[in-house]
């Protein structure tokens, strides 16, 4: 999965605008609601005298990928090309005074531009080369100027890399553009479900299982090397050795494609989540009509119980906090499934949700301050995504609400925080099948990620540039 990209700092003489925005945060993403900055990003210029149709398609893909990335952040609003006061296809990529026929900052200021991105591309010896500049127009400062070069098959990776560099330059924080997703996928009821990886925007789908069974609950290790998941495996069960399918947990190593059974105790072995060391994980095991959470090493050994009922309670869906000190999980120990937290050793269990009658699938924000979860709204008879402080204080915020084509309320569930903590990835059946969406943690800027006829389940983010 990992693509190697050569990213060379573009060091051509930049004349009087070499005074860049030196580590200055131009957009404060720490605010609850961030005002959208006006962004002008004209089409990429062709830097070669001759451009083939295939190369032109590469340029279009570069542009559309960058555009989609930046709009997905909710930080920018694009200025329509009809408002431009100069023709970007004629003027240069750098301002007048720096290069002949350069662009005029004043014309971009006049239409309220805050950020201007000027770029061009060419294909040389099967390499895509992107030369691109980002400016903070009110001050006339160069924010970012780079040349990216990569194999022509890595057009989208180049685009994601620039978009990530730009967001880092103006916010001081990374984005999620280079973080892949792992997800269970099928073609609808009564079909096999397998595990796939993909880019955040739904492209570059890669199938990593072929069990011809039902695979569920994938999780990516923090070091990017492993994916754990559960699958119904046909094998001999119990003392009498009866052949039947059991929900076992497996580990997949991305670099070597090696796969092994981690937990194959009789009953359900499910709900994996890695601890921060990537050498241990959390799993929920069902025994005698109960389900409890355990910690074990990725070879399936050194198993330690963390919950003990009470009674016939089901304790499932464990999620480790980013610092590894807490575990969130769902439990029906009070008759209805609710979200609880406990210390990493299983002590100090506390109920965190009191919303409705069914709360599930907790997800920690990267800073450990928020929990996203799905809750059943009895009035709507559908699930929605909610957000709360991890200590249970403050107002619980509803993030989603949507209808299906038949007018009934849609289910929005299985949330997963983005690595930058500003978006939540989730599954919704509002189109009739289960598709992936993202939404800001403010409940704004909801965007559909996948546009196909597949059905998606339990998405999780992976680390940047995972193997």
- Give backbone dihedrals phi and psi of 47, rounded to 5 degrees, phi first: -90, -5
Q: Which domains are seen in the chain, by residue range?
A: 6-171 (3.40.50.10070), 181-461 (2.120.10.30)
Give the integer Cα–Cα distance in Å for 260 and 314: 27
Cα–Cα distance, 436 to 247 (Å, whole number): 25
**Banded pLDDT at 149 (limits 50, 70, 90):** very high
pLDDT at 32: 60
Residue of 164, 285, 130 lying closest to 217 (CA atoms): 285
Residue pLDDT, tens place only, 67-89:
999 999 999 999 999 999 999 99
Tens of pLDDT, residues 214-243: 999 999 999 999 999 999 998 877 777 778
Q: How far apart are CA 91 and CA 265, in angstroms?
A: 67
Does position 20 have pLDDT exceeding 50, yes or no? Answer: no
Give the pLDDT score at 258. 96
Mean pLDDT of the chain: 92
Cα 122 to Cα 17, 59, 150, 162, distances in angstroms: 25, 8, 11, 16
Rounded average pLDDT over 27-45: 86
Q: Are strands 336-343 and 326-334 parallel, antiparallel or unpaired?
A: antiparallel
Q: What percent of the chain has pLDDT over 70?
A: 94
Q: For the chain, report the end-to-end CA distance as a whole number of angstroms.
A: 5
Q: Give the model's pLDDT for residue 31.
A: 64
Average pLDDT over residues 169-194: 96
* pLDDT confidence tier of residue 33, bands split at 50, 70 and 90: low
pLDDT band at 141 (very low <50, low <70, confident <90, very high): very high
Q: At 395, is the pLDDT very low, low, confident or very high (cuts 50, 70, 90)?
A: confident
**Would you state the pLDDT for residue 298?**
95
pLDDT at 109: 97
The more confidently predicted of residues 10 and 348 is 348
């Amino acid at each position: 999965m990992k693509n190697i990209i050569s990213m060379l700092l573009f060091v051509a003489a930049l004349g009087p605008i070499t005074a860049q925005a030196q580590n200055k945060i131009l957009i404060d993403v720490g605010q609850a609601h961030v005002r959208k900055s006006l962004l002008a990003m004209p089409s990429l210029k062709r830097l070669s005298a001759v451009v083939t149709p295939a190369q032109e398609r590469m340029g279009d893909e570069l542009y559309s990928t960058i555009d989609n990335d930046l709009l997905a952040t909710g930080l920018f609003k694009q200025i329509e090309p009809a408002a431009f006061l100069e023709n970007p296809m004629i003027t240069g990529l750098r301002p007048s005074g720096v290069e002949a026929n350069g662009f005029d900052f004043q014309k971009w200021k006049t239409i309220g531009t805050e950020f201007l991105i000027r770029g061009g591309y060419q294909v040389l010896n099967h390499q895509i080369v992107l030369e691109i500049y980002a400016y903070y127009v009110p001050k006339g400062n160069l924010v970012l100027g780079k040349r990216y070069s990569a194999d022509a098959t890595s057009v989208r990776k180049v685009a994601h890399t620039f978009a990530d560099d730009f967001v880092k330059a103006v916010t001081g924080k990374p984005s999620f553009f280079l973080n892949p997703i792992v997800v269970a996928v099928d073609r609808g009821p009564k079909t096999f479900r397998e595990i796939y990886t993909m880019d955040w925007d739904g492209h570059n789908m890669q199938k990593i299982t072929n069990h011809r069974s039902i695979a569920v609950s994938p999780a990516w290790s923090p070091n990017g090397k492993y994916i754990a998941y559960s699958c119904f495996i046909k094998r001999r069960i119990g003392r009498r050795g009866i052949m039947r399918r059991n929900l076992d947990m497996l580990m997949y190593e991305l670099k070597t494609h090696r796969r092994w059974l981690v937990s194959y105790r009789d009953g359900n072995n499910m709900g994996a989540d890695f601890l921060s060391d990537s050498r241990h994980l959390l799993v929920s095991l069902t025994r005698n009509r109960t389900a409890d959470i355990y910690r074990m090493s990725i070879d399936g050994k050194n198993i330690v119980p963390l919950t003990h009922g009470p009674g016939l309670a089901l304790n499932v869906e464990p999620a480790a906090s980013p610092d590894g000190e807490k575990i969130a999980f769902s439990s029906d120990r009070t008759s209805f499934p609710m979200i609880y937290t406990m210390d990493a050793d299983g002590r100090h269990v506390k109920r965190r949700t009191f919303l409705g009658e069914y709360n599930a699938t907790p997800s920690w924000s990267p800073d450990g301050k928020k929990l996203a979860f799905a809750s059943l709204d009895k009035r709507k008879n559908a699930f929605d995504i909610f957000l709360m402080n991890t200590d249970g204080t403050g107002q619980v915020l509803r993030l989603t609400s949507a209808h299906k084509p038949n007018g009934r309320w849609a289910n929005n569930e299985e949330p997963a925080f983005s690595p930058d903590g500003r978006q939540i990835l989730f599954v919704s059946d509002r189109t009739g099948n289960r598709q992936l969406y993202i939404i800001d943690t403010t409940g704004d800027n909801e965007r559909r990620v996948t546009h196909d006829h597949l059905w998606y389940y339990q998405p999780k983010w992976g680390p940047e540039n995972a193997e």
